[in-house]
């Protein structure tokens, strides 16, 4: 029976078989957590990336994103959820020990930022690849402004074991090969897009922002004010995921298809090669001055804003689309997660267990190809959840019918219980069901969502977002002084920092062409 003809119950029964379910022990996960360095009075740090943390270009665990002050912590793929969380905790502990009086901002939306010029773009050294990374960020600044780029989030990387995919292919009469695995991951991705609205409802934690973020811009939203300089929407869950945040309306017309990998790659490459009249006004390459990498709709693949991405590990100098074309989908990257402000590391264990169940659910549910109309419908649902997710009686669209977010969320979570039960039974634990029940409590009571807790705390205390964020940041920093390393240690990080700086030096020493030629070679199709 082909996967498309199989029902969720068919697939769930198949998944409950011991030989299938035991592959869940081999799920690999990685976490990428972004966060701003801030001063002890809650302002954006003006210090460069600390040398003690190593090279932002080559360090495997600690790097920077858009700005020098925007750190990104990366855990390597691991089979145990607790291992990933311990790794992330150790990375936080070491980093905090190296940045003096500074704290790590616990909210997705930025702290107080005076002007865009306060945001120093990340530097990666004098190598061509380092210059390219910096120039890409210069392009983002000119295209969208720096303020949007210092919004922080959490990315969750997820892959199923080769043994799982072999059994999946057998069950669905597919050849066990790279293309079938890619097809399976895109099956998952389409259903994730259909259900993505539930992510900001459950985990969104940015219902309010510092007024400095708006920089005097007019918005279509009727913000309410609290404290001295905070604005909020009463039922918002994740302003980070709204038009104010990490999205790009200029990309709305791209219609990147997730129906097959070939089409996805083709659409992505088309966007990178399509000239933009708007971006043509920005310098690139004239007189050796680069204010962007090119003047096309996308500079590179990473500029595509999406709540989920199919990924393949790229080799040195290899474009992400080329890596996908050559070796297929290796894992998927969930990108719709706000930082959990109440966790010192920005994520929590219940959340990861729920995400495991949810992503498996997206694979086990039938997943027809997605039309442009349905794709647009998923975007409308996501926007409604982001701006009004906790609003009583909020209606979403499902198969062109109105359905309440509450009823739909309850239905999804009920199915996740069945998956959690199978996973717990196989692994001799109760963690999966606890994770699913923790989210059920939020569905039953919106005030228990992170956005609900955060906004109610601000309103009850009439305290500014920035002041409360600094309070949490200082509490989190103190908690790490009492934490002992569990996976890594100080010596490990010192060694890694030293090696990363040496590796950056080697890259700089081996460049054999100028930057213009390097870019020309990079953008040539291979």
Distance between CA 80 and CA 82 in Å, rounded? 5
In this structure, what is the dihedral angle of CA atoms 135, 136, 142, 146, given to the nearest 10 degrees? Answer: -100
Which residues are CB-contacts of 365 (< 8 A; sequence separation ≥ 6)?
8, 11, 191
CA atoms of 517 and 83, how far apart (whole Å): 43
Burial group, residue 9, by CB count within 10 angstroms (0-12, 13-18, 19+): exposed
Cβ–Cβ under 8 Å, residues 308 and 191: no
Contacts of 62 (CB under 8 A, 6+ apart): 53, 54, 56, 71, 72, 73, 74, 91, 95, 493
Residues 108, 240: contact at Cβ < 8 Å? yes
Q: pLDDT 10s digit of each residue in the chain, 526 long? A: 444 568 999 999 999 999 998 898 999 999 999 999 999 988 999 999 999 999 999 999 999 999 999 999 999 999 999 999 999 999 999 999 999 999 999 999 998 788 888 999 999 999 999 999 999 999 999 998 898 899 999 999 999 999 999 999 999 999 889 999 999 999 999 999 999 999 999 999 999 999 888 877 778 889 999 988 999 999 999 999 998 865 555 666 677 899 999 999 999 998 888 888 889 999 887 777 899 999 998 999 999 889 999 999 998 878 999 999 999 999 999 999 999 999 999 999 999 999 999 999 999 999 999 999 999 999 999 999 999 999 999 999 999 899 999 999 999 999 999 999 999 998 899 999 999 999 999 999 999 999 999 999 999 999 999 999 999 999 999 999 999 999 999 999 999 999 999 999 999 999 999 999 999 988 885 4
Residues in contact with 88: Cβ distance below 8 Å, sequence separation at least 6, in sequence order? 31, 33, 73, 75, 345, 347
- Domain ranges across the chain: 8-523
What SS3 class is residue 209?
A: strand
Domain 8-523 top-level CATH class: alpha beta
Radius of gyration of the chain (CA): 23
**Residue 101 burial (CB count, 10 A):** 9
Q: How many CB atoms lie within 10 A of CB 257?
A: 21
pTM exceeds 0.75 for this model: yes
- Alpha carbon distances (Å) from 525 to 273, 416, 480, 511: 11, 42, 47, 21
């Amino acid at each position: 029976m082909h996967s498309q003809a199989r029902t969720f119950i068919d697939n769930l029964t198949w998944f409950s078989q011991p030989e299938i379910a035991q592959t869940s022990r081999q799920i690999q996960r990685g976490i990428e957590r972004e966060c701003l360095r801030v001063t002890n009075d809650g302002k954006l740090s003006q210090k460069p990336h600390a040398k003690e943390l190593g090279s932002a270009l080559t360090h495997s665990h600690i790097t920077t994103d858009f700005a020098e002050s925007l750190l990104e912590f990366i855990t390597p793929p691991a089979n145990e959820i607790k291992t990933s969380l311990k790794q992330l905790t150790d990375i936080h502990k070491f980093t905090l020990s190296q940045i003096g009086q500074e704290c790590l901002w616990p909210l997705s939306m930025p702290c107080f930022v005076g002007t865009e010029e306060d945001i120093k773009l990340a530097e990666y050294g004098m190598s061509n690849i380092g210059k390219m990374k910096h120039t890409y960020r210069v392009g983002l600044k000119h295209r969208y402004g720096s303020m949007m780029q210092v919004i922080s989030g959490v990315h969750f990387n997820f892959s199923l074991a080769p043994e799982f995919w072999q059994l999946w292919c057998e069950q669905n009469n597919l050849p066990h090969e790279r293309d079938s695995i890619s097809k399976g991951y895109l099956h998952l991705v389409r259903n994730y897009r259909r259900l993505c609205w539930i992510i900001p409802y459950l985990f969104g934690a940015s219902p309010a922002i510092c007024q400095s973020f708006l920089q005097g811009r007019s918005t279509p939203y009727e913000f309410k004010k609290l404290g001295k300089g905070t604005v909020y929407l009463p039922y918002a869950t994740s302003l980070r995921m709204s038009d104010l945040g990490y999205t790009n309306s200029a990309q709305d017309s791209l219609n990147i298809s997730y129906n097959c990998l070939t089409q996805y790659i083709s659409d992505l490459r088309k966007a990178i090669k399509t000239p933009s009249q708007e971006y043509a006004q920005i310098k690139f390459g004239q007189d050796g001055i680069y204010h962007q990498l090119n003047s096309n709709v996308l500079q590179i693949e990473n500029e595509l804003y999406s709540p989920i991405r199919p990924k393949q590990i790229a080799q040195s100098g290899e474009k992400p689309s080329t890596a996908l074309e050559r070796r297929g989908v290796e894992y998927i990257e969930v990108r719709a997660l706000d930082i959990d402000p109440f966790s010192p590391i920005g994520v929590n264990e219940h959340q990861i267990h729920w995400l495991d169940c949810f992503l498996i659910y997206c694979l086990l549910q039938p997943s027809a190809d997605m039309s442009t109309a349905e794709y647009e419908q998923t975007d409308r649902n996501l926007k409604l959840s982001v701006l009004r997710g906790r609003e009583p009686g909020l209606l979403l669209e499902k198969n062109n019918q109105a359905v309440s977010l509450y009823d739909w969320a309850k239905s999804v979570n009920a199915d996740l219980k069945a998956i959690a039960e199978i996973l717990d039974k196989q692994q001799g634990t109760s963690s999966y069901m606890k994770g699913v029940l923790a989210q059920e409590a939020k569905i039953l009571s919106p005030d228990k969502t992170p956005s609900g807790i955060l906004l109610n705390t601000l309103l009850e205390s009439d305290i500014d977002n920035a002041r409360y964020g600094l309070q949490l940041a200082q509490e989190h920093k103190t908690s790490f002084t009492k934490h002992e390393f569990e996976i890594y240690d100080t010596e490990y990080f010192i060694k890694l920092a030293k090696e990363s700086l040496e590796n950056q030096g080697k890259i700089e020493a081996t460049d054999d062409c100028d930057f213009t030629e390097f870019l020309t070679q990079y953008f040539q199709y291979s």
